Structure 1
Amino acid sequence: MAHLSQNRRQALQTLGLGASAALLNTTASGMSVSKKSNPAFKYSLNMSTIRGQKLGFIKEIQTAAAAGFTSVEIWLDTFQVFLQNAGSTNEARRIIAGLGVTVENAIGFAPWIVDDEQTRKEALLQLERQMNLLAEMGCHRIAAPPAGATGLPTISLDKITERYRAVLEIGKRTGVKPILEMWGGSHNLKKISDVLYVAAASEHKDASILLDSFHIYKGGSSLNSLPLVGKNAIEVFHINDYPAGIAPEKISEPDRVYPGDGVAPLKQILQIIKNPERPTVLSLEVFNESYYKQDALQVAKMGLAKMKAITQGI
């Protein structure tokens, strides 16, 4: 435990905040952050939330650790820049472990779903390379969104199922599970019913679904569909909120706000996805331009406090 505390202090010093270690227990607004996490949930920071500060891969992880997160979701492009600048998967694994952080998932955009056969083949090769790197680094999940196929025409769910099954087989070989991600702004995998069908029809033991409170609203899914997914199919859930008065067809990614600062039915969602058998990873994913203008550590700390507040009593 002393070793872990030392690494967190070192993270603060690297960020130029060594003298402010006491901030780990308070948010920028004075909101208290409990050291005890709700056992039903693991709190994770998706690096989208501090992406605009352009900290770089290692500093992003250090910031999450300094804020009190023990789980993160990384973005593959930032990780690739780290590797291109003489970093290694072993170095990343060592630093991450030293900070007491687990990389729960990786965000990437390989177009595995598209109709173009050559593009799809290249995407599968890309995914296999990425999955091997992630396995070496210690991350065992990767998002599989409908990247490259967000517009018309729609692709039949049976074709998507075949393509997702191929990605699942790569995951089986590499030890990195691809999570089928729903995008409410897409014409493909737009609704809970879409990803539910594909995951079930794949008939694969590793099939799982990545949902998001923003995308549930954006895509027009009813919460009545959510219990049908099944708790074991949701290992990671992207949590965020959105303001009142913006129609689903008008709302966009930068409109996302901290959990509890909007009108999303988060309490109801969390009650549904709560799994008594294992903690669900709640990952804070926002793209708010106003947050990007703030200190990254304070944004991460505020996000964690808001997540703990919204899960209180669930």
Structure 2
Amino acid sequence: MPHSVTRRQLMATLTTAAGASFLPASAAPQPAEPSLAPLATPPPFILCLNMSTIRGHKLGLVKELETASKAGFKSVEIWIDSLQEYLKSGGTTADLRKRLADLTIRVENAIGFAPWIVDDEAVRAKGVDQLKREMELLAQIGCKRVATPSVGAQAPDAPVIDLRKAAERYRAILEVGDQTGVVPQLEMWGFAKNLTKLSDVMYVAVESGHPSARLLLDIYHMFKGGSSIDSLPLIGKPAIEVFHVNDYPANLTRQAIGDADRVYPGDGVAPIQETLKRIKDPNKSIVLSLEVFNKNYYAQDALTVAKTSMEKMKKMIAGV
């Protein structure tokens, strides 16, 4: 009968609905999960201009930054004495930070010369205090790193510093870095009496026992000090954040070559691409900073030098 059929249909519907309410959640229809976008891979290298490259033009800090920006650089290494001259002439760290923002330029590192490593306790104490003040200035403009080579212990007649003591002293300035937010980068100078070789700075960084220990290496200084690029993979890739690039001519031995002999990448015989392949890190970007002191470049227009630097660096990293 129509009435009984209707009741049977109604009961079947209710039973089905009741059964569905007791199904486990996994059996119930689920909304489709949104697909996760792949994480962006960081570029392997960031191209940076060390102001040494146009330092001989004596532009002053602001014009140096403007020149770098016009050449296409978004990262620079400044010299602390140039920052101090800017402040002495009436500039402020707040104004400089705004100028950097307007130019969309980041200060990756600063070149300073505080004698933090020497054996003379009084000189070392003054050096550490100097470094602390410089770090505080750098922090105000957003710079998170400062170069710390063996200033005061680099001359040929300087005493050889025990590497364990050097490691203790490096840890001390790393702790100053903890306070200021600016990490001292242990810089190797191939011509220096102390911290001459890759093995020296590696030992000091490891022996410091500090998690922020970092090395600042250089194509030229690797050659000058007689360190092999084949040892670079032993460092551990987290230890390198900034690496100085340049080239050197074939007609000079490592004993005879000097700072002013450095040339643009690609204009000499340095194993640049092989070096970059050894330090390349798939998990982070490494700042490659062009550091030369070439008087022939200083005789040219500063913007021309900066633009040439960018062109040479782009070719340098192609295919690495």
Segments of 5+ residues of structure 1 without an aligned counterpart are 1-37
What is the Cα deviation at residue 241 of structure 1?
Answer: 0.2
Q: How does 1:7-18 map to 2 (within 5 A)?
A: none
Rounded to whole Å, the distance in 1 between the matches of 2:93 and 2:138 is 8
Q: Give the alignment of 1:116-135 within 5 angstroms.
A: 116-135=120-139
Please list, as runs of the form range in 1=range in 2, the aligned pairs for 1:232-311 lying within 5 A after superposition: 232-311=238-317
Alignment partner, residue 13 of structure 1: none
Letter in 1 for 2:125: K
Aligned equivalents of 2:304 and 2:283: distance in 1? 33
What residue is the counterpart of 2:3 in the other structure? none
Q: Give secondary structure in 2 for the equivalent of 1:98.
A: helix
Shift of 1:222: 1.2
Which deviates the most, 218-227 or 287-296? 218-227
SS in structure 2 at match of 1:167? helix
Q: Counterpart amino acid of 2:304?
A: Q
2:236 alignment partner, one of 207, 212, 230? 230
**Counterpart pick for 2:47 among 43, 46, 55:** 43
Question: How far apart are residue 309 of structure 1 and its match?
Answer: 0.1
Partner Cα separation in structure 2 for residue 154 and residue 214 of structure 1: 22
Q: Give TM-score scaled by structure 2 length.
A: 0.86
Q: How many residues align?
A: 277
Distance (Å, rounded) in 2 between the aligned partners of 1:102 and 1:149: 31
Aligned pair 1:92/2:124, yes or no?
A: no
Structure 2: distance between partners of 1:106 and 1:310:
23
What is the aligned partner in structure 2 of residue 22 from structure 1?
Answer: none
The one-letter code matched in structure 1 to 2:138 is L
- Counterparts of 1:168-179 in structure 2 under 5 Å? 168-179=174-185
Indicate yes or no: 2:221 matched with 1:215.
yes
What's the secondary structure of 1:235's corresponding residue? strand
2:167 to 154, 158, 161: 161
Instruction: Identify the match of residue 65 of structure 2 among 61, 65, 78.
Output: 61
Runs of 4+ in 1 over 2 A off after TM superposition: none
- 2:211 match: 205
Q: Which amino acid aligns with 2:166?
A: I
CA apart distance, 1:224: 2.0
Task: Select the residue among 110, 113, 116 that pairs with 2:114.
Answer: 110
**Whole-Å Cα distance in 1 between the matches of residues 298 and 278 of structure 2?**
31
Q: Alpha-carbon deviation of 1:225?
A: 1.4
Match of 1:18 in 2: none
CA distance in 2, matches of 1:120, 1:296: 37
SS of the counterpart of 2:109? Answer: strand
* One-letter amino acid matched to 2:119: D
Provide the rounded CA distance (Å) in 2 between the counterparts of 1:171 and 1:263: 37
Q: Which residue of 1 aligns with 2:19?
A: none
- What is the aligned-residue identity percentage? 57
Shift of 1:245: 1.9
Cα distance in 1 between the residues matched to 2:200 and 2:53: 27
> Which region of structure 1 is more displaced relative to structure 2, 151-160 or 81-90?
151-160
Task: State the alpha-carbon separation in 1 of the partners of residues 162 and 181 from structure 2.
Answer: 28
**Counterparts of 1:231 and 1:308 in 2: how far apart (Å)?**
22
Q: Quick one: distance in 1 between partners of 2:308 and 2:131?
A: 34
Residue 217 (structure 1) shift: 0.1
Shift of 1:285: 0.2
The CA deviation string for residues 181-206 of structure 1, in whole angstroms up to 9 with x for no partner, is: 00000010000000000001111010
